[in-house]
Amino acid sequence: MFYLSVKNHNSVWRDFLLWSKTYTDMLTKDIFNDTETAFAIKSDADLEKAYWLFSIIKSEPLVKLGTAVTNFALKYHLPVEGIIRTTVFEHFCGGIDEQDAMRIVEKLYSKGVYSILDYSVEGAQNEESFDQTYRKTLDLIKLASKRKEIPFSVFKPTGMGSYEIYKKVSQGDPLDAAEQQAWDRIRQRYYNLMKAAKDYNVPVMVDAEEYAMQKAVDDLMEELMREFNRDKVFVITTLQMYRKDRLPYLREMLDRAKTEGYKIGIKFVRGAYMEKERERAKRKGYPSPICETKEKTDENYNNAIRLMMDNVEHGLIYNGTHNEDSSILMAQLIDEKGYKRNDPRLWFGQLYGMSDHITFNLAKRGFNTSKYIPFGPVKYVMPYLIRRAEENTSVAGQTHRELELLEKERKRRKLD
Ligand SMILES: Cc1cc2nc3c(=O)[nH]c(=O)nc-3n(C[C@H](O)[C@H](O)[C@H](O)COP(=O)(O)OP(=O)(O)OC[C@H]3O[C@@H](n4cnc5c(N)ncnc54)[C@H](O)[C@@H]3O)c2cc1C
């Protein structure tokens, strides 16, 4: 009796301590204001350069002009690679090849941040180039299997096959014999890579691109999850939550996985092709697949995170965002629900060169946090770099915030 009452007393006390710990330590967005942690790996010179770069990127006319001049210069082999390399390239990319990128990988890991090497060569859409990207991705899976700093591999659908084939399959259009063979080769490349993911114990993410080609990717990814994600997640698909239909799709996917006994790996992003999608829908005369407002996209995104956080035992969540609210939301849910902050099923990710205040402050507090690190020869990663520059121009708030944080850190270091 006495024992029981002591036990009860102890467990009540323990619950109280747990409860009070959750609430006194409850994370808020204030953690993202710690610029000392955010920029710890940046030297004073790096900091100044980043400040200068974002000040330029902020200006839409300058980005437009810069893009046009760069494209022209590259096309006519004018010597601009050097200047690109020491400016935008150095800021947003890990290097020209994986060896080069390892310097960054190790630097990030010294602060508890993981890396995902993203071979960002957006080359010619032909079989030779698809095979080359396929081989490179396979090599990267093998490399990751030997490096604790690299938990995942990644590839883009259009790295493995042509947009036109994905689009035809997505629309249910008939394929002629050559197209059918091309589609079979795409399927085979995905299959081999996911098999390697399992054999080498390195889960692989597949990015999401344009709406018109996504249905083919979705169906293939579900097929592969069914095959490879029985006990653990090796296959990770991407959901762009700016799409109106993605939350219902996530619910259906989850139901199918539960019924058939496999797990789903999801990388959540808002989506990078908004203007293009809206414009295409208008041109082709179908309703835009994109949410009407930013608020609706945010609501979709956060509801998807909540839904998966209620179903952690059924999958893996990769929260790919620079949005502070969506990042803190998941961090709070991890604590509230009592998951370990470094639970291998729960991940955060930002792009290299952006939102260090989120990455490094979450990593400091023990969450699994990673950077997507694009790499490749300067000339071939230009489309990626242009997208980043344009994104930072159009998402005005984001650049403004980067500048504000860099300014704060410059003041703290007494650089201005
Ligand atoms: C690790 C990582 C991986 C990524 N992988 C992919 C990928 O595979 N595929 C892909 O498409 N993108 C990818 N992205 C980019 C991503 O989709 C976003 O473009 C980018 O991260 C900005 O969104 P946010 O959540 O960070 O921030 P926020 O600044 O909060 O949101 C900006 C985004 O909100 C949406 N939005 C803005 N205005 C409106 C509006 N008026 N109406 C409706 N929606 C609006 C757009 O999607 C816009 O990009 C990735 C990003 C990260 C960090």
Indicate whether residue 189 lines ligand 1 (CB < 6 A).
no
- The crossing angle, in degrees rounded to 10, of helices 177-199 and 127-146 is 10
Closest-lying ligand 1 atom to the alpha carbon of residue 351: 53
- Residue identifier of the C-alpha nearest atom 45 of ligand 1: 294
User: Which tens digits make up the pLDDT trace of 130-171?
Assistant: 999 999 999 999 999 999 999 999 999 999 999 999 999 999
pLDDT at 1 over 50: no
User: What is the CA(372)–ligand 1 centre distance, in A?
Assistant: 14
Indicate whether residue 240 lines ligand 1 (CB < 6 A).
yes
Cα 228 vs. chain centroid, distance in angstroms? 21
Residue 386: band (very low, low, confident or very high) from pLDDT cuts 50, 70, 90: confident
Closest-lying ligand 1 atom to the alpha carbon of residue 291: 43
- Residue identifier of the C-alpha nearest atom 25 of ligand 1: 321
pLDDT at 395: 58
Q: In the predicted model, what is the mean pLDDT of residues 291-301?
A: 97
CA distance 50 to 360: 16
Q: In the predicted model, what is the mean pLDDT of residues 308-317?
A: 98
Do 76 and 309 contact (CB within 8 A), yes or no? no
Residue 190: band (very low, low, confident or very high) from pLDDT cuts 50, 70, 90: very high
- Residue identifier of the C-alpha nearest atom 30 of ligand 1: 323
Of 384, 371, 374, residue with least CA distance to 151: 371
Q: What is the DSSP letter of 224?
A: H
Of 344, 392, 314, 326, residue with least CA distance to 53: 392
* Residue to mutate, 269, 300, 330, ligand 1, most ligand atoms under 8 Å from C-beta: 269
Indicate whether residue 158 lines ligand 1 (CB < 6 A).
no
Q: In the predicted model, what is the mean pLDDT of residues 337-355?
A: 97
φ/ψ of residue 200, rounded to 5? -95, 0
Of 296, 345, 348, residue with least CA distance to 322: 348
Indicate whether residue 118 lines ligand 1 (CB < 6 A).
no
With vertex at residue 272, the alpha carbon angle to CA 270 and CA 275, rounded to the nearest 5 degrees, is 110
Indicate whether residue 288 lines ligand 1 (CB < 6 A).
no
CA distance 22 to 319: 22
Q: What is the DSSP letter of 87?
A: I
User: What is the CA(25)–ligand 1 centre distance, in A?
Assistant: 29
User: What is the CA(348)–ligand 1 centre distance, in A?
Assistant: 14
pLDDT at 4: 46
User: What is the CA(16)–ligand 1 centre distance, in A?
Assistant: 40
Region of poorest pLDDT, from 48-62, 101-115, 353-367: 48-62
Fold of 91-381: TIM Barrel (3.20.20)
Residue carrying the six token digits 């998402």: 395
* Residue to mutate, 32, 211, 241, 270, ligand 1, most ligand atoms under 8 Å from C-beta: 270
User: What is the CA(120)–ligand 1 centre distance, in A?
Assistant: 18
Indicate whether residue 372 lines ligand 1 (CB < 6 A).
yes
Q: In the predicted model, what is the mean pLDDT of residues 169-178?
A: 98
* Mean pLDDT for the chain overall: 91
- Residue identifier of the C-alpha nearest atom 37 of ligand 1: 294
pLDDT at 151: 98
Of 283, 280, 272, 278, residue with least CA distance to 386: 272
